[in-house]
Amino acid sequence: MADPKHRLVVAEKDGEVVGTLQISFLPGLPNFGMKRGLLENVHIRGDLRGGGYGSTMVKWAIERCREAGCRVVQLTSNKVRVDAHRFYEKLGFAKSHEGFKLKL
């Protein structure tokens, strides 16, 4: 909460947690420091998936990125999460890069 470049979001319905996500607002080198929104840890409670909560939450996050001056919103998703990939594609996201990790 102390860093305005990062937001931790908890979505609730009737006082119960239904989902979470993190938004990071990051400047980059492309396009003269274009700001991007990075979505991470997007999760909807398993018993509520398919109920529209995820779409509502991600669309809300996209609007926060737009308000913050971001010109692109990006995220990564594990290759085995095929249902999640379909979900993101329905929201307008396109597969564009391969991701890499180095665990330390």
Which fold, 6-90?
Answer: Aminopeptidase (3.40.630)
Contacts of 16 (CB under 8 A, 6+ apart): none
User: Do strands 16-27 and 6-13 pair parallel, antiparallel, or not at all (unpaired)?
Assistant: antiparallel
- List the pLDDT tens digit at each of the 104 positions of the chain: 788 899 999 999 999 999 999 999 998 877 777 899 999 999 999 999 999 999 999 999 999 999 999 999 999 999 999 999 999 999 999 999 888 889 99
Domain coordinates of the chain in residue numbers? 6-90
47 vs 15: CA distance, rounded Å: 16
